């Protein structure tokens, strides 16, 4: 084989290897938006925290991406305007919030169990959603649980809608509402934080779990989304003792 032939063969071999090896997605910096909904998501010292926040920070670290800035917001404000910001990511959303191609998703990151929380002293018994038709429920505007029931199962007139979870919780505490429609873990967390005895409250009805995802701006490259999804899937792989990087993160909050 001539020298030129050997060079050509080497070049062809290099090209074949280059095409066969997946390229790492170009590193990006994201603006992380979140509402305040512990233990799932919140900002602590300006950093994404909670189960979703810690998972996202770990994912970005192992894939070579970064957080450029963080923004505290409300659910409805994000869905009305914040989502338009380039390189935006919301810590956790239900795919019920998808309208057209508004988001690209990574997940599910976990499922949240929601329900109707009531004062135990009221002795409210609910066997099905239709039993709540006579109740006034406090809820968070555009939250997953609200979108599940509002209009479809219960009329809008039965809801007291608030921008922030803590406002919806206090509506129940102050007897403005008969029940609170919220992720149950968040509901009892907010009650406890206010110094309220959580044993005075109970979940009258548990709804189907809602899968939650990281919601990325639609212009986020597919290569980045695929890379993050693969990294999340790998984090769930358990070792011989049944532990995984994913479980180590979320178990801190239970």
Residue 168 and residue 90 share a domain: no
In a domain, 171, yes or no: yes
- 79-106: per-residue pLDDT in tens? 989 999 999 999 999 987 766 688 999 9
Residue burial 133-151, b: 16+ Cβ < 10 Å; e: rest? eebbbbbbbbbbbbbbbbe
Within a domain: 245: yes
The answer to whether residue 80 sits within a structural domain is yes
In this structure, are residues 204 and 118 in contact, taking their beta carbons and an 8 Å threshold?
A: yes
- CA–CA dist 84, 78 (Å, integer): 9
In angstroms, the CA 115 to CA 113 distance is 7
Task: Identify whether residues 131 and 55 lie together within a single domain.
Answer: no
- Position 24 scores a pLDDT of 55
Per-residue pLDDT at 27: 87
Judge whether 20 lies within some domain.
no
**pLDDT tens per residue across span 235-248:** 999 999 999 999 99
Residues 129 and 193 in one domain: yes
Q: 206, 230, 245 — which closes off a domain?
A: 206
**Per-residue pLDDT reduced to its tens digit, 117-162:** 999 999 999 999 999 999 999 999 999 899 888 877 899 999 999 9
Q: How far apart are CA 177 and CA 172, in angstroms?
A: 5
In a domain, 10, yes or no: no
Q: Are residues 125 and 156 in the same domain?
A: yes
Residue 138's domain comprises 114-206
Instruction: Report the pLDDT averaged over residues 2-29.
Output: 50
Whether residue 134 sits in one domain with residue 172? yes
Number of domains in the chain: 2
Q: For position 163, which CATH number holds?
A: 3.40.190.10
Q: Residue 47 above 60 pLDDT?
A: yes
Beta-sheet pairing, 29-34 with 88-93: parallel
Which of 170, 185, 206 represents a domain boundary (last residue)? Answer: 206
* Domain identity same for 103 and 220: yes
Chain centroid to CA 22: how far? 29
d(CA 108, CA 144): 14
Mean pLDDT of all residues belonging to the chain: 89
The dihedral built from the CA positions of residue 45, 47, 48 and 49, taken in this order, carries a sign that is: negative
Backbone angles phi, psi at 103, to 5 degrees: -135, 160
Residues 119 and 201 in one domain: yes
Question: Six-digit token pair at 66?
Answer: 């970064």
Q: Based on the domain organization, do 128 and 57 belong to the same domain?
A: no
86 with 68, same domain: the answer is yes
* Within a domain: 75: yes
β-bridge partners, 85:
none
Q: Is residue 8 part of a domain?
A: no
Residues 105 and 152 in one domain: no
Q: Is the pLDDT of residue 253 over 90?
A: no
Do 69 and 151 fall within a single domain?
no
Q: Is residue 186 part of a domain?
A: yes
Q: Going along the chain, which residue ranges are E strands?
A: 29-34, 42-44, 47-49, 66-72, 88-93, 104-112, 114-119, 137-140, 159-162, 179-183, 201-206, 210-216
Residue with tokens 């009650």: 191
Report the interhelical angle of 222-235 vs 50-63 (nearest 10°): 110
What is the mean pLDDT of the segment spanning 216-238?
A: 97
Categorize the per-residue pLDDT at 4 as very low, low, confident or very high, splitting at 50, 70 and 90: very low
Question: Own/partner pairs for 234-241, CB < 8 Å, 24+ apart?
Answer: 235/55, 235/58, 235/59
State the Cα–Cα distance between residues 80 and 142, nearest whole angstrom.
10
Q: Which are the contacts of 238, defined by CB distance < 8 A and separation ≥ 6?
A: 244, 247
Same structural domain, 34 and 97: yes
pTM, to two decimals: 0.82
């Amino acid at each position: 084989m001539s020298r030129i032939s050997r060079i050509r063969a080497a070049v062809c071999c290099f090209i074949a290897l280059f095409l066969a090896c997946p390229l790492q997605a170009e590193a990006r910096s994201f603006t992380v938006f979140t509402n305040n909904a512990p233990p799932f998501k919140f900002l602590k010292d300006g950093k994404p925290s909670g189960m979703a926040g810690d998972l996202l920070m770990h994912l970005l670290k192992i894939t070579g991406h970064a957080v450029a800035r963080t923004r505290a917001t409300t659910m409805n404000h994000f869905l009305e305007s914040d989502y338009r910001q380039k390189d935006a990511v919301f810590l956790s959303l239900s795919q019920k919030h998808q309208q057209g191609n508004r988001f690209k998703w990574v997940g599910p990151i976990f499922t949240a169990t929601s329900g109707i929380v009531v004062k135990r002293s009221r002795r409210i018994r609910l066997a099905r959603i239709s039993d709540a038709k006579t109740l006034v429920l406090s809820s968070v505007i555009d939250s997953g649980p609200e979108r599940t029931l509002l209009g479809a199962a219960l009329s809008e007139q039965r809801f007291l809608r608030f921008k922030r979870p803590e406002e919806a919780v206090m509506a129940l505490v102050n007897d403005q509402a008969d029940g609170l429609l919220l992720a149950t873990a968040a509901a009892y967390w907010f009650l406890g934080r206010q110094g309220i005895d959580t044993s005075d409250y109970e979940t009258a009805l548990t709804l189907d779990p809602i899968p939650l995802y990281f919601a990325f701006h639609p212009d986020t490259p597919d290569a980045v989304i695929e890379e993050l999804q693969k990294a999340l899937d790998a984090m769930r792989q358990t070792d011989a003792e049944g532990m995984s990087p994913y479980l180590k993160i979320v178990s801190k909050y239970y």
